[in-house]
Structure 1
């Protein structure tokens, strides 16, 4: 059994495939893929466009467009303000529980849909730091790694400034992330909070969540997990792994749409102990009392602030239904197969051109994307976009191949990396004065 509760995957596709057999292999994989039927449910999946950016913004499900249109006509247009009297007030908690049940394995009442990822990160991190400092004034360190996603680092810098705490930085290998050994070196009696990305946004390194959580707890610290690049791609066991806090976005693998609201997880025994810092009327015990002072609601509702973004929650329900139907284990298995195939193609086609795979090769340590390193990749990415091949770029020199298991096919991976090889050859020829 692997450390994350998944079966160990074998490296690569077996014996190295020949150039002629790579496409045949992709087509065999697509025919055998138990999730292949889901690809037809996404807008644009039947076109020649290659989409390698589902880990930044997922494709819209066809049914999500229909659901949003129906909501706007019938519920918003038909019910108007009366919609709040029926289902809208409960929607953030109902969808939150679905995410808890299907995506992060958390029991009901611990997950809610709310604000942006950045705002939810601030709420939970600030609440955790305040509670820890109140319990022990010596706990004034926030542990974070230097390659953590920028918004996480910026939020924590602000909280440190507001609270008089200091950041304890972990220097990580950019092809990996925070390891148990690194966290054990810095976590101690002064640690208030540890913040870690479950899957690194750059390298796709998959952190050892249960072990890092245990180390933080042994030091008396709370830990906040950023699940943005794992929710819907990598199985998460929030309750079993004894998470304290977590946030995750819904516009990547959950296909909620641009800027769709993030989710927050707060373990049930912490909910009464934490005072969220952005106090608003939707988080009060009696929403319509309009009382003279703030009285927090019991449970997860106290972490809600203002009016919930109802329309922005509608689209993600279609992908949640797919995940509920097929399960995260099947999604993870396809994710591993897709990334293994992408690495196989990179090794055969791109390594001779100087490309280095910047993601872990062990599937147990890799999330749902692969980063390909070369100093020409910024230009390669721009040219690929002009050819309807859409990866994204991350400094320094990283072309990121994001593979959404519900909507990406193996043949699409083949076409996209074939185009990458062709464009990189063009760029290198021009640099050499041969173009």
Structure 2
């Protein structure tokens, strides 16, 4: 297909895009932004809402806003996240960070499964989840063993390998639903069924899937999950995370962090701890009102658009993107480090090149006359190209690939050294 044919195809797809109007709900600039899988764009309504909270709710109403606006925020936000990830409202807690929530759930599972001592994850999981598991073994569960399944291809672990690792001693299996480097998407239902046969509990990390692919926690019989709100949910930098606990498990699991907002009557100020008996038992300290409230407009946009519609567009865009990569970038030494089968792929695509980091820098800091294109880099040589269907266009994807082709063919990346910035 010629470049003119690709241009015409991109324009046609953009004109027929039923989600195109959502792009105008976000703050835009001249750059092409393909890092929504790391930090989503700012919804215009979040800007207005934050101003209202700071100037009026905090500035004028002060402490009265706890009763008027703030105390119910976690429940309200949790109900909206539940719609997006396919859970019941009383199964989602919103607050703290993903790492803290993962710690709570991992501790709770290992404490509950006291007669089992095996923990399974994979080498492609997000490192912080593995760090938390290592810390739990080092500090509290010293007789436990962590088995990290090694990927043979750098893209995934097969279901057969997971099934072979599971046995009667397995307390916990934990995986990322969509892997952060390759975008490989596990079959959640199948994995949950395999674990249940061995009476092992499963914690899913939804950080790269919530808001980008249908998660359907209840339909997939999920036990537990954690996730962040600042990627595809467009909640803002450092926005509070969430956790999910299947209703039937809530009474059986103990939150290891006994704190004020998980107490059944926090404003009685009793010196004896007594836990709530619902999902709010997994709360800890005071809700972070400013960042928590700012997540709501992004969630509203996702709910309005519909996760199935978002997935449909994501599939169309990622397929188009891969077609472009195969045509223009593979001849230049690139490889695709994401599944080609869309049924096993999330909403970002990783491409690899020996000069991946410097190419990434050249995309972000272009020569005069070129638009900046924002991806991100993950070692050793992955350029991640995140597609956020709410605001990315097909034309942007075409321009991105043509720009990368020029950067490599004209060796523009040689302007940069190999020293890496603190955030890549």
What TM-score do the two structures reach when normalised by structure 2? 0.94
Distance 2:409 2:74 in 1: 49
The 5 Å alignment of 1:19-58 reads: 19-44=3-28, 47-58=29-40
The 5 Å alignment of 1:22-171 reads: 22-44=6-28, 47-101=29-83, 103-133=84-114, 137=115, 139-162=116-139, 163-164=141-142, 165-171=144-150
- Residue equivalent to 2:422: none
The equivalent position to 1:302 in structure 2, one of 259, 281, 292, is 281
- The number of equivalent residue pairs is 408
8 Å Cα contact 2:359-2:413 kept in structure 1: no
The equivalent position to 1:223 in structure 2, one of 170, 188, 202, is 202
The equivalent position to 2:315 in structure 1, one of 336, 358, 364, is 336
8 Å Cα contact 1:280-1:304 kept in structure 2: yes
- Residue equivalent to 2:400: 416
The equivalent position to 1:403 in structure 2, one of 365, 373, 387, is 387
The equivalent position to 2:250 in structure 1, one of 271, 274, 278, is 271
The 5 Å alignment of 1:6-17 reads: 17=1
Distance 2:152 2:18 in 1: 36
Q: Does 1:321 align with 2:300?
A: yes
8 Å Cα contact 1:376-1:427 kept in structure 2: no
8 Å Cα contact 1:359-1:371 kept in structure 2: yes
1:58 CA displacement = 0.5
1:430 CA displacement = 6.0
What is the CA deviation profile of residues 86-108 of structure 1, one whole-angstrom value per residue up to 9, with x for unaligned ones?
2312111111111102x111112
The 5 Å alignment of 1:251-266 reads: 251-266=230-245
Q: Does 1:246 align with 2:225?
A: yes
Q: Which runs of 5+ in 1 are unaligned?
A: 1-16
Distance 1:327 1:195 in 2: 28
1:379 CA displacement = 0.5
Distance 1:174 1:283 in 2: 43
Distance 2:394 2:19 in 1: 12
1:179 CA displacement = 2.6
Distance 2:296 2:228 in 1: 14
Distance 1:393 1:345 in 2: 20
Distance 1:429 1:359 in 2: 23
8 Å Cα contact 1:280-1:306 kept in structure 2: yes
Distance 2:152 2:349 in 1: 16
8 Å Cα contact 1:175-1:359 kept in structure 2: no
1:191 CA displacement = 0.5
1:319 CA displacement = 1.7
- Report the 3-state secondary structure (helix = DSSP H, G, I; strand = E; otherwise coil) of the residue aligned with 2:233: coil
What is the CA deviation profile of residues 199-240 of structure 1, one whole-angstrom value per residue up to 9, with x for unaligned ones?
000000010100001111111110000000000000011111
8 Å Cα contact 2:32-2:374 kept in structure 1: yes
- Report the 3-state secondary structure (helix = DSSP H, G, I; strand = E; otherwise coil) of the residue aligned with 2:235: coil
8 Å Cα contact 1:42-1:62 kept in structure 2: yes
8 Å Cα contact 2:178-2:206 kept in structure 1: yes
What is the CA deviation profile of residues 302-338 of structure 1, one whole-angstrom value per residue up to 9, with x for unaligned ones?
0000001111012221121112212110000111111
Distance 2:302 2:412 in 1: 42
1:35 CA displacement = 0.5
Distance 2:50 2:34 in 1: 25
What TM-score do the two structures reach when normalised by structure 1? 0.92
Q: RMSD of the alignment, in Å?
A: 1.4
8 Å Cα contact 2:183-2:345 kept in structure 1: yes
8 Å Cα contact 1:178-1:196 kept in structure 2: no
Distance 1:63 1:174 in 2: 42
8 Å Cα contact 1:97-1:111 kept in structure 2: yes
Distance 1:117 1:389 in 2: 28
Distance 1:262 1:172 in 2: 28
The equivalent position to 1:425 in structure 2, one of 387, 402, 409, is 409
1:428 CA displacement = 8.3
Distance 1:142 1:71 in 2: 43
Distance 1:260 1:369 in 2: 21
The equivalent position to 2:211 in structure 1, one of 213, 221, 232, is 232
8 Å Cα contact 2:155-2:339 kept in structure 1: yes
- Residue equivalent to 1:394: 378
